[in-house]
Amino acid sequence: NTLRNSAAYNINVNVDSKLNLTKVWFNLVIRDQGRPIGLAGSGLDLSGFLDDFIIAREPGVTPMIVGDDGAIQAHPDRRLIAYSSAAGGASERHRVFDLLDQPEQRDALREAMRLARAKAGSVHCLWA
């Protein structure tokens, strides 16, 4: 799937339950005159960071990490994580938008995320 994708790279989170590791994989498409000819990539172990980030809970706050498309990459409830989302594996129930009840809330979140991408380094709040 990565070679067929037009993006220059993808980032994918993978949880290995047998080894109890969570890694983020960076995959780069190697091109020759615009034609994809191979892949290069590496993984980074995020297990310790995620344990600290996800387990550190404050009342009323649910820490999570989401991708540009809303795919949930890290969440205290592992059933909500969109494993292999870079390969097209994220269903709607694994996207942050589906955690909101109203269509207006989902649209407002999409807009806040769009603004955040458009204005790097800025903060956009959404109360839902």
Q: Is residue 85 part of a domain?
A: yes
Is the residue at 18 inside a domain?
A: yes
pLDDT at 5 over 80: no
Q: Does residue 123 lie in a domain region?
A: no
The pTM for the full model equals: 0.66
Residue 120 lies in a domain: no
Check if the beta carbon of residue 117 is closer than 8 Å to that of residue 68. yes
Residue 119: which residues within 8 A CB-CB, separation 6 or more?
A: none
Instruction: Print the domain residue range for 79.
Output: 9-94
Task: Please name which of 117, 94, 100, 113 lies closest in space to residue 15, comparing C-alpha atoms.
Answer: 94
Q: Is residue 88 in some structural domain?
A: yes
Residue 112 near residue 106 (C-beta atoms within 8 A)? no
Q: What is the pLDDT of residue 87?
A: 52
Judge whether 21 lies within some domain. Answer: yes
pLDDT of residue 41 exceeding 60: yes
For residue 100, is it within any domain? Answer: no
Please give the tally of structural domains in the chain. Answer: 1
Element at 29 (helix H, strand E): strand 21-32
Quote the percentage of the chain above a pLDDT of 70.
88
Is residue 1 in some structural domain? Answer: no
